[in-house]
Amino acid sequence: MNCRSCGMPNLKPILSLGNMPLANGLLKSPEEPEETYPLDLVFCPDCTLVQLTGNVDPDKMFKDYKYYSSGSKTMLKSAADLVEKTIASEGLNKDSLVIEIASNDGYLLKNYVKAGIPVLGIDPCQKIAIEAMNNGVPTYIKYFKLELAKDLIDSGMHADVIHANNIMAHLPYLNDVVEGISILLKPNGIAIIETPYVRDMIDNCEFDTIYHEHLCYYSLLALSMLFNRHGLSVVDVEHLSIHGGSLRVTVSHNAERYNERVYTMAASETFTLDDYRYYEYFGKRVEVVKDDLSDMLYGLKSNDKHIVGYAASAKGAVLMNYCGIGQYLDYVVDSTPAKQGLYTPGTHLEICDPSKLLETQPDYALLLAWNFADEIMSKEQEYIKRGGKFIVPIPRVRIV
Ligand code: TYD
């Protein structure tokens, strides 16, 4: 395979997690057949993009997407703040147009609608898009592609602002989408793009964020090369704590909007994130987590301890399958009603309401959503008071 971004053939292996089921592919019964696909991470020395080698049919992952952005308070607050800032900086009004790619349930665009600014959302998931429309956000139920961008232009649309949050990681055909953004954007318009930062994934050993939905893992250098190829420049960058660490880049045709922050961050990545040696040892660190975790759980189980999983997250599916630890867990709890009664992919553990934790008082709960560690542990004070302990697997295995 050639690089998804620059097309060069020199991809170098970083890590192989083996054959895995889809991380969000929850099962209706433990006997339901499931497909597995290889999960191999590689680095492109030519444009620095970290990426997966294979593609899974996007419809299998996104047509029945269960993730509602409005479900998270952090996401809502971050979206409202960003909209307020953008309206002011761009001087947006009733004659402007804001487009969001992967607009989900309208969690972001509804803030523009409230301010009287015309918007268009684009999202392939019908159920979620209908929810957006019910919230007053006009939405096309489609994948965003160059072809669609051309159709929009033909119908007279040009965007002052394009948002694309947590979509860059999912794109099999990057250049097609970025060219679409490029032609749709007005000469002084901006695209604001958020995507998980590969530096955080590597430094914090967040290997459980590697799954088939996440095809690309970006540095600022990789993003810059991608956008430059389509006549766009990265003119600003921020490092956010959201989703275990993300980049928010602003890109524009107007390179004069350039902020020094881009130079500072690019300089911090040079000779580090563009060097294969930075990624080479990641695989070894991941193996240490796998060995430590399976040894610990094996030891506890040999002493007749009861262990459950906390959160039926995609990250949890990767962790349990890669580490081969499903055999040590009795069940998994998750607060999402739509997940309860289903079974975890690959490991086939029943997903139960978190109240089961106090009913059965297992000795240990393995935290499968470390991104919500504080929130979950403060919610489960009673379990802890009664002697229950949490095992946190990442960045290194520990009991808290
Ligand atoms: P999420 O953050 O979406 O991660 P991923 O992208 O890896 O799926 O998933 C977190 C899961 O944790 C989600 O299914 C809801 C669950 N959860 C609880 O069960 N209890 C809680 O208090 C919180 C905050 C989340």
> What tens digit of pLDDT does each residue of 174-223 get?
999 999 999 999 999 999 999 999 999 999 999 999 999 999 999 999 99
Helices (H) and strands (E) in the chain, counts: 15, 17
Residue in the block written with tokens 């939405």: 139
Residue in the block written with tokens 């497909």: 35
Q: How confident is the model at residue 58 (pLDDT cuts 50, 70, 90)?
A: confident
Q: How far is the CA of 379 from the centre of ligand 1 (A)?
A: 13
Q: How confident is the model at residue 55 (pLDDT cuts 50, 70, 90)?
A: confident
Predicted confidence at residue 105, as pLDDT, reads 93
User: Which tokens is 376 given?
Assistant: 């979950």
Who's near 87: CB < 8 A, 6+ residues apart?
112, 115, 117
Contact between 104 and 110 (Cβ < 8 Å): no
Q: How confident is the model at residue 84 (pLDDT cuts 50, 70, 90)?
A: very high
Cβ atoms within 10 Å of 284's Cβ, excluding its own: 9
Q: How far is the CA of 313 from the centre of ligand 1 (A)?
A: 5
CATH class as words, domain 283-399 = alpha beta
pLDDT above 70 (res 65): no
What is the fold of 69-278?
Answer: Rossmann fold (3.40.50)
Strand partners, 75: none
365 lines ligand 1 (CB under 6 A): no
Ligand 1 pocket test: pick from 61, 69, 313 the residue with the most ligand atoms within 8 Å of its Cβ: 313
175 lines ligand 1 (CB under 6 A): no
pLDDT above 70 (res 66): no
CA distance 15 to 264: 29
Predicted confidence at residue 371, as pLDDT, reads 83
312 lines ligand 1 (CB under 6 A): yes
Cβ atoms within 10 Å of 90's Cβ, excluding its own: 16
Predicted confidence at residue 243, as pLDDT, reads 77
Domain positions in the chain are 69-278, 283-399
Contact between 179 and 233 (Cβ < 8 Å): no
Cβ atoms within 10 Å of 290's Cβ, excluding its own: 19
Nearest Cα neighbor of 58 from 139, 157, 133, 169 is: 169
pLDDT above 80 (res 72): no
Q: How far is CA 43 from CA 1, 219, 382, in A?
A: 12, 11, 45
Q: How confident is the model at residue 365 (pLDDT cuts 50, 70, 90)?
A: very high
191 lines ligand 1 (CB under 6 A): no
| CA geometry: angle 72, 77, 81, nearest 5 deg | 150
Query: Which residue has better confidence, 273 or 242?
Result: 273
Cβ atoms within 10 Å of 84's Cβ, excluding its own: 12
Give the pTM.
0.93
> What tens digit of pLDDT does each residue of 325-346 get?
999 999 999 999 989 999 999 9
Predicted confidence at residue 64, as pLDDT, reads 65
Cβ atoms within 10 Å of 140's Cβ, excluding its own: 17
| CA geometry: angle 285, 18, 284, nearest 5 deg | 15
Ligand 1 pocket test: pick from 211, 335, 351 the residue with the most ligand atoms within 8 Å of its Cβ: 335
Strands of the 139-140 sheet, one edge to the other: 139-140, 119-122, 98-101, 159-165, 185-196, 246-252, 233-240
Strand partners, 27: 343
Contact between 56 and 212 (Cβ < 8 Å): yes
Give the percent of the chain with pLDDT over 70: 98
Contact between 222 and 158 (Cβ < 8 Å): no
CA distance 391 to 328: 13
Q: How far is the CA of 284 from the centre of ligand 1 (A)?
A: 27
Predicted confidence at residue 145, as pLDDT, reads 96
Who's near 380: CB < 8 A, 6+ residues apart?
310, 354, 357, 365, 388, 390
User: Which tokens is 292 given?
Assistant: 């430590």
Residue in the block written with tokens 């961050």: 265
Residue whose CA lies nearest to ligand 1 atom number 3 = 313
DSSP-based three-state secondary structure for 307:
strand
CA distance 236 to 250: 5
Name the phi and psi angles at 261, rounded to 5.
Answer: -55, -30
Predicted confidence at residue 67, as pLDDT, reads 67
pLDDT above 80 (res 62): no
CA distance 255 to 213: 32
Q: How far is the CA of 372 from the centre of ligand 1 (A)?
A: 7
Q: How far is the CA of 77 from the centre of ligand 1 (A)?
A: 18
User: Which tokens is 274 given?
Assistant: 């563009």
Tell me if 69-278 shares its fold with 283-399. yes
What's the chain's average pLDDT? 95
